[in-house]
Structure 1
Amino acid sequence: MTAHYRRLDVRELHRAGVLVPGWRGGWNWYRNGQKRASVNIEVGDASIQLRYRATDRGEWKDYDYTVRLSRSSCHYGGERPWFLCPCCGRRVAILYGGAMFACRVCYGLAYEAQREDETDRLARRADAIRDRLGWEAGILNPDEWKPKGMHWRTFWRLKAEHDRLKGGALGAWAKRLGILDSTGR
């Protein structure tokens, strides 16, 4: 899954002002406030140079290679940068780091949502509504009340949708665990 790989997102680099020819520096990844990995980047006119150390089958190796950049025009002016995958040449926004940074197709990765079954999807959608309502995540947690500033009509609509999704997920889990049979008893 893509969540298990370090992401190098061309949009983040662009917003941070990194993709200016001549720029040199490091890009870091953090977990729980601690630096977990970094890559040195040197930007050229139509490419970036990546330099880093990583383990490959338990052995440390140094990597130094070029990733070409492409640009597309935006409808209201300006340009949008893209990576060209070093393995297949596809135009992508995100490269995933393993021994080499490559697109998700080259690594055979799927997004988390692509691996969900219907029950997980119902629970995730219910959790998204809980987030919008400012409630604690997790459909097993108690429901709270209307957030300040939200219209009552919006609240009742979201609560009804949340309750429908929650009921569907809990019912499917109960069937899976053998608590309910296929008739719902």
Structure 2
Amino acid sequence: MAAKLRNRKPIEAATYLSIDCLSLARMPAGRHKHGKAVRAVKIRHRLQNLTVAETDLQAEFDQTGGAVALKHRGVDGMLIEHTVRLEPVPQHFGGQRWFFVCPRTGARARKLYRYPGMLEFSCRQGLPTNITYHCQRDSGAKRVMRQIWKLRTKVGDSRGLLGTLGQPEGMDDSAYFRSATRYLQLADRLDFSTRDIKLRRTP
């Protein structure tokens, strides 16, 4: 698995834009002279509390579609400007859900990404290199530990990774039994002895 991921770029290294930042579902106050709604948004991309890139978005749209002109100063210092189409998709229970139309693939996407050196934003499928996610680079033990912490948080007992797992007030016995069984299975996968793990009801 490690060999397969070695030549892939982490998705965290890419700058991304989300369609949600434009709030297209909410009708804006601004109106274009041709009757289209307009919205301007400035995004500062931050890394460790430092602004590393900036993007200016200027969207024009109506109920049938639209476009957003973006001006992006990237981490690599490049200034890129291009336009991305916007497309609404009707929902079964009313309303619309908006998507970017990827400039590279033509596919609908809720997020667009750009790695340093790219001349435009793209959906994941249009990126020039294979990508990998943070969870894919985790070891098996780290994934198991993450599941244990999630389970302990669920039952309201986060005093330690392993040890006593208390049953909180209000949780019925069957739900607690399922959580406790899963907890012991995960502890066993970490090669910890389950003999020292105690299960008890939290007072």
TM-score for the superposition, normalised by structure 1: 0.70
Once the two structures are aligned, what percentage of the paired residues are identical?
23
- 2:155 paired residue number: 133
TM-aligned CA deviation for residue 159 of structure 1: 2.3
Structure richer in helix, relative to its length: 1
Matched letter for residue 73 of structure 2: R
Match of 1:26 in 2: 42
Q: 2:80 aligns with which of 63, 75, 80?
A: 63
Q: Are 1:84 and 2:101 an aligned pair?
A: yes
Is residue 31 of structure 2 the alignment partner of residue 14 of structure 1? no
What is the one-letter code of the residue matched to 1:52?
Answer: H
Counterpart secondary structure, 2:78: strand
Residues in 1 aligned to 2:20 and 2:168: alpha-carbon distance in whole angstroms: 33
Q: Number of matched residues?
A: 167
Is 2:175 aligned against 1:154? yes
Q: CA deviation at 1:137?
A: 9.4
Q: State which structure, 1 or 2, has the greater radius of gyration over its C-alpha atoms.
A: 2
Say which of 70, 93, 107 aligns to 1:50.
70
Q: Deviations over 1:60-96 (max 9, x none)?
A: 2211111111111101011110111122111111112
Task: Tell me whether 60-69 or 76-85 shows the greater mean CA deviation.
Answer: 60-69
Equivalent position SS for 2:167: coil
Q: Gaps (5+ residues) in structure 1?
A: 173-185
The separation in 2 between residues aligned to 1:76 and 1:85, in whole angstroms, is 26
SS in 1 for 2:103: coil
Q: CA deviation at 1:10?
A: 1.5
Say which SS state the counterpart of residue 171 (structure 1) adopts: coil
- Given the two structures, how large is their TM-score scaled by the length of structure 2? 0.65
What root-mean-square deviation, in Å, do the aligned CA atoms of Structure 1 and Structure 2 show? 3.3
SS of the residue corresponding to residue 50 of structure 1 reads strand
- Could you say which residue in structure 2 is the equivalent of 1:178? none
- The answer to whether the 8 Å contact 1:130/1:136 transfers is yes
AA of the residue aligned to 1:23: R
Any unmatched runs of 5+ in structure 2?
A: 1-9, 31-36, 193-203
Matched residue, 1:171 = 191
